[in-house]
A and B are shown apart, each in its own frame.
Chain A
Amino acid sequence: MENFNSRLLSLYPYEKVDIGKFQKVFQVDEEAIQYEINRLLNRYLTWEVGEEVHSGDMVVCSLMSSVDKFQKENIKVIVDSGMFHKSLEHVLIGMHKNEKKTVVLEEGEVQILVKEIQNRVVPNLTNEMVQALNLETVSTIEEYQSYLISEQKQKMVGNDAYHAIKYIMSEVDCNSDLILKQADWKKMAELELAKYRNLSKQMDLVLEQMTKEDFDGKIPVASYFELVTLVQDNAWDTLIHYLIGKYYADQEGYVVSEAEYEQFIEEYIAAWRVTEEQARESQSYELFVVTSYAGCYYQKVKKYVEERIYVEA
């Protein structure tokens, strides 16, 4: 990277980009919140011998019918799960232990004898259940609900902020003053191509000879030449983002280190189940440095947008 001759001359402040058209009011997904509360309650649910069948209960019953599917002895079903037969399961609701009933289903007549009932008993949410989660600053039901909403917001903000982030970066890229050298652009493209070359070698393929079928499911191109075009397009942006990211990193005193690279390689090996040699071949240190500094730019804008993407109604 010390050999780069490209330079950032002046940086357009990202704060000057108007993201009003991307801002929105955050809508709580109440169903998702209730789902999480139900998951917590599931830890405390019990199955208790019961006398009457309700939805969600487990029932052991015997079925008699001329229809093969309904000629069963001691079959276990979960009422309303739809796993055995939705209509028959629903008919069980309200029945009692040792009760017999004859029903006419679409397939035919079935005689049901309920032999055993296990009621699914879900308790009400308590502060003690919330405290057992050991979440910092969360000890009451209300605090847990606020926590869930905050978590949900954090999960959704990434999606909601994406287009605003891309827009800001595009505006900053276009309005900043840079000297961009063709040799540096070529270098960026070569780094990326080297990665793909090594990855294809690991799959016993030669990148330059890969066919549409070889690329299918891996990279959205149909030929090596399409890949080169794609890489060259991306390399231009990568060069700009590297220069801007390096500027921000220098401001904050951050320097990409070899220790970080080693950590990255360790995680790459575990995630992709490759050898160390393969990991280092496809993920060179030079490429890691470029990506890391470009990442600084992205993270800076991302943080800015995520703090502003949601507005009050």
Chain B
Amino acid sequence: MAIQYATAENLDQVISEGFVIVDFFSTTCGPCKMFSRILEDIEAEIPFLDIVKLNTTDYPEVGEKYGVQAVPTIQFYKEGELKETRVGVMTAAQVKEVVAQYMYA
């Protein structure tokens, strides 16, 4: 599935099924742009991964609801349950390691 952008209205629904990576970012954040490229690379390699981005500049209340205090914050959901949260840029290898840990558990 292509990387999609979530909104305050649909984020709960989007993470409710399957394995989803949520990237909380902000418009002016340099490291977020760097991590965006990494997510694009991962998406090209692993097509069955759902990747969702949420702009905390546009939806600051959603960031607060999900405990986002800094960006980028990356959350990994499986069937709607939060499995892991990471703050800061992750390498592609680190992302795949987390995905593998929960997807193949």
As a 0/1 sequence over residues 136 to 175 of chain A, the CB contacts with chain B under 8 angstroms (1 = contact) are 0000000000000000000000000000000000000000
A47: chain B residues within 8 A (beta carbon): 47
* Chain B residues bordering chain A, tally (CB within 8 A): 14
B96 at interface, CB cutoff 8 A: yes
Interface residues of B in 49-105 (CB under 8 A from A): 96, 99-100, 103-104
Given contacts A47-B47, A118-B47, contact A39 B100 (CB under 8 A): no
A42: chain B residues within 8 A (beta carbon): 40-41, 44
Given contacts A56-B45, A76-B48, A78-B45, contact A39 B99 (CB under 8 A): no
B48: chain A residues within 8 A (beta carbon): 58, 76
Given contacts A58-B48, A118-B47, A270-B28, contact A75 B104 (CB under 8 A): yes
A271 at interface, CB cutoff 8 A: yes
Mostly, the A contact residues are mixed
Closest Cβ–Cβ distance, residue B61 to chain A (whole Å)? 14
* Chain A residues bordering chain B, tally (CB within 8 A): 18
B40: chain A residues within 8 A (beta carbon): 39, 42
A42 to B38: give the CA distance in the assembly, Å.
12
How many A-B contacts if CB must be within 8 Å? 34
Is B46's CB under 8 angstroms from A78's CB?
Answer: yes
A75: chain B residues within 8 A (beta carbon): 104
Closest Cβ–Cβ distance, residue A83 to chain B (whole Å)? 4
Mostly, the B contact residues are helix
Interface residues of A in 71-94 (CB under 8 A from B): 75-76, 78, 81-84
Interface residues of A in 245-267 (CB under 8 A from B): 267
A75 to B103: give the CA distance in the assembly, Å.
10
A195 to B84: give the CA distance in the assembly, Å.
37
Is B47's CB under 8 angstroms from A83's CB?
Answer: no
Is B47's CB under 8 angstroms from A84's CB?
Answer: no
A45 at interface, CB cutoff 8 A: yes
Most chain B CB within a 10 A radius of its CB, from A75, A76, A118, A267: A76
Closest Cβ–Cβ distance, residue B67 to chain A (whole Å)? 16
Given contacts A39-B40, A42-B40, A75-B104, contact A81 B96 (CB under 8 A): yes
Residue on A with the closest CB to B56?
A273
B28: chain A residues within 8 A (beta carbon): 267, 270-271
Is A84's CB under 8 angstroms from B45's CB?
Answer: no
A42 to B92: give the CA distance in the assembly, Å.
15
Residue on B with the closest CB to A122?
B44
A76 to B37: give the CA distance in the assembly, Å.
24
Is B41's CB under 8 angstroms from A83's CB?
Answer: no
Residues of A within 8 A of B (CB): 39, 42, 45, 47, 56, 58, 69, 75-76, 78, 81-84, 118, 267, 270-271
User: Shortest 6 CB-CB distances between A and B: which pairs?
Assistant: A42-B44, A83-B100, A270-B28, A76-B48, A83-B96, A84-B104
Residues of B within 8 A of A (CB): 28, 37, 40-41, 44-48, 96, 99-100, 103-104
15 contacts between A and B (CB under 8 A): A39-B37, A39-B44, A42-B44, A56-B45, A58-B48, A69-B104, A75-B104, A76-B48, A78-B46, A82-B96, A83-B46, A83-B96, A83-B100, A118-B47, A267-B28
